[in-house]
Amino acid sequence: MRLYEEAASLYMHTGDNMLAIYASEKALRLAERLGEAAAASRAHGIFGRVFGRIGDSERARENLERSVELGRESDPAEAVRALLTLGYHLEVSEADYKGAGAAYQEALELAEQTGDLPSKVELHAALAQLAAYGGDWESVEREAEASGSLAEREGLTGKLCFPYMMRGMLRWREGNFDESAKGLRRAADLAEQVGRSEVAFQSLFWLAASLRQRGDHADADTELARALDLCERAGLVAQSVEAISARAVNLALAGRADAAGEAADEAERLADRLRYPVGKAASLEARGAVAADSDESSAALTEARAAWQALGRPLDAARCDYLRGRLLRDSNPKEAREALERAAAEAEAYGVHHLAELALKLLPA
C-alpha cells in the first residue's frame, strides 16, 4: 500500500496524471480492505489533486472533501494535510477564496495544536496569497513574516520558498522591482529544487509581472515561457491558461502583435475547454489586449474587468482598466481618460502606487 502511495505521489509531481490515478486507485483499495483511514485519506487527496489539474473540479472537490473527512477520523496531522490540499484546490481551480481561507484557517489551528511547524509555514504563506488577491497588503505582510520567521528559526530550508515568494510580491507592491525579481527568482529556484511545482509556478508568474512592470518585456516573456514549461512537466493545466494569457498581454505591450494574437487564441481555447474561473478572466484580458478592433478590445477588457471584480481581485480589474485606457487613448480619448483614472484610483486605494502612476502618465491631453 505504501509503495502505491509513494508511486502515486511521484507520478503526480512529474505530471503523469493517468499513472497517478492508477496508483492511487490501488492504494485506496488496499487501504479500504485494511481499514486504514489515514492511507485512504491520502489516496483521495491525490485523486483530488489530479482531477483538479485536469479540470474536473466536481470530482476533485468530491475526493478532497472525502479526504478531509477521513483525515479527521484518523488523526490531526492527516486532517491538516487534507485541509491544505482542499484549500489549494478551492483557491486555484475554483477561485473560491472564502472556502479556501476557511480550509487553511482550520488547518492552521490544528497545526498549532499539534506543533506541526512545516505545515504552519506553508499555511501562513497560503493565507498571505489569498490576502494578495484582494489587495490586503497588511495581512500579506503579517502572514509572510509569520511564515518566514518560523521557517528561518526552525531551519526549515525547503520551506523557505514560501516566504521568499511572498516577500518578492511585497517588493512588487512597493515598486522595488529589482529586489522583487531577486526574491522571486530565489523562490522559484528553491521551489523547483524541493519539488514544489505550484510555488515555482507562482513565483515565476509574479517574477514576470515585476519584469514587465519595469519595462523588461523580453525578460518577462522568458520567465513566462519557463513557467509554461514547468506547467507542462508538472501537469499544471489550469495554471497554464493564466500564464499563456499573461504572455499574450506582455507580447502585446512589447509590440509583438502576431505572437500576442497566437498566445491569446491558445489561452481562449484552453479556457473554454477547462472552465477555470481565473483562466476565463485572464483569457478575456488577453483577447482585449490583442484585438485589432478598438470596439472588440474595449468590450473584452470591460468583460475581463467585471470577471476579475466578481472573483474579488480588484488589482487585476484595475490592470484591465489600464490596458483599456492605453488602447483607447488615440481612438476615444474620453473613454480612455475614464478608464485610466479609474485604474489609478483603484491602484491607489490598494496601495500600489506604481500602477497608479503608470495609468496617470497615459492620461490624454
The span from the CA of 249 to the CA of 264, in Å, is 8
Distance of CA 259 to the CA centre of its chain: 24
What does the pLDDT look like over 127-165, one tens digit per residue? 999 999 999 999 999 999 999 999 999 999 999 999 999
Q: What is the value of pTM for the model shown?
A: 0.91
Number of other CB atoms surrounding residue 2 within 10 Å: 9
pLDDT at 2 over 80: no
In order, the DSSP letters of 295-316 are HHHHHHHHHHHHHHHHTT-HHH
pLDDT greater than 70 at residue 3? no
Residue 347 is classified by DSSP as H
Exposure letters 202-240 (e unless 16+ CB within 10 A, then b): bbbbbbbbbbbbbebbebbbebbebbbebbeebbbbbbb
Q: Determine contact, residues 238/267, Cβ cutoff 8 Å.
A: no
* pLDDT tens-digit series, residues 232-260: 888 788 899 999 999 999 999 999 999 99
What's the mean pLDDT in 35-43? 78
